[in-house]
Amino acid sequence: MSNFNIKEKNLTAEEIAVIGIPFDENSSFRRGAALAPMRIREALFSESTNMWTEKSIDLGLMSGWQFLDDLEFLNRKMAFELIESKINELLNKKIRVISIGGDHSITYPIIRAYGKWYSKLSILHLDAHPDLYDELYGNRHSHACPFARIMEENLVKRLVQVGVRTLTGHQREQAKRFGVEIIEMREIDRVNEIMFNGPVYLSLDMDCLDPAFAPGVSHHEPGGMSTREVLRIIQNLKGKLIGADLVEYNPERDPQDITGMVAGKLLKEIIGRMLEEKNNGGYRDRTPHL
């Protein structure tokens, strides 16, 4: 894997940084998502395919984007602080960030950083689960809770969830309370109606896909999206994509690297989509009070 090109100091404004977040301590059921960053990188560089996006951008040129070193969690208790401060540091340099790996709890500290820089931020959240629990097994930072925390703190203007198929009574109430817009999986055709004004952050939980397409996740939830449906959402998104995360890939449940290749493909198309929208500096519309 010597072709990684880690030279953070040379990152320039408007470039895209892809950073690994190997953290899965808020998973309620199975660990493993911490192993994802390395496996997604391997898939992206796999010689079984090439590095061109479907819309003909050659990511192999490593132009306009690069990988950074994975975050290193020396003090596990300070994990969220580390994530938030690292993302904030990158946004401060006008870098757009794609995070790979981790359980879904990491989206909360990421959005705490993004919310400081974008006052009119929308989130497009693809997931089998709404992740709106007030708490799960006593953990308010569980991977089942990040969007409750995000909405409580008013970090974003709009949260749109797509692919959900596990709503409980409690989570329906939470969605109503926070004004979350949900396109449930059973009404997936409505996905074409979604339109965003201004900056959009994409939070992509790999279990939005049907387990037949992506078995390497901790929570198998049948009846989900195909790989093509997710690609179509990324490619046709109406709005300005300014950041993304790719979470919940669990390599320990992925013996043939099937899901790793799907994650690599999705990452490729997300990078491509963001490269198409290079000139978006004007969207950083807020001076944070740090």
Give min distance, CB of 221 to Mn ion, in A. 7
235 dihedral zone (left: phi>0; alpha: psi -120 to 50; beta)? alpha
Alpha-carbon gap, residue 245 to 106, rounded angstroms: 9
Number of residues written out for the chain: 290
Binding status of residue 104 toward Mn ion by CB under 5 A? yes
Q: Identify which range of 17-25, 40-48, 110-118, 128-136 contacts Mn ion by CB under 5 A.
A: 128-136
Stretch in the footprint of Mn ion (CB under 5 A) among 8-16, 49-57, 205-213, 259-267: 205-213
Spatial distance between the Cα atoms of 154 and 273, rounded to a whole number of angstroms: 27
Selected range binding Mn ion among 93-101, 124-132, 236-244, 278-286, rule: CB under 5 A:
124-132
113 binds Mn ion (CB under 5 A): no
Q: CB of 29: closest distance to Mn ion in angstroms?
A: 11
Q: What's the Cα-to-Cα distance from 144 to each of 75, 149, 201, 237, rounded to whole Å?
A: 23, 10, 19, 25
Only one of the segments 65-73, 103-111, 153-161, 173-181 lies at the binding site for Mn ion (rule: CB under 5 A); that segment is 103-111
Q: Per CB under 5 A, does 131 bind Mn ion?
A: yes
Check binding of 103 to Mn ion (CB under 5 A). no
Q: CB-based burial of residue 228 (10 Å sphere; 0-12 exposed, 13-18 middle, 19+ buried)?
A: exposed
Using CB under 5 A as the binding rule, whether residue 129 contacts Mn ion is answered as yes
Query: By three-state DSSP, how is residue 138 classified?
Result: coil
Are the beta carbons of 155 and 115 closer than 8 angstroms? yes
Tokens in use for 61?
A: 């040129």
Cβ closer to Mn ion: 95 or 123?
123
Answer for which of 24, 84, 207, 245 binds Mn ion (CB under 5 A) is 207
Q: Which is nearer to Mn ion, 207 or 210 (CB)?
A: 207
Minimum distance, C-beta of residue 247 to Mn ion, in the bound complex (Å): 7
For residues 163 and 186, give the distance between their C-alpha atoms in angstroms, rounded to a whole number. Answer: 8
Applying CB under 5 A, which residues contact Mn ion?
A: 104, 127-129, 131, 205, 207
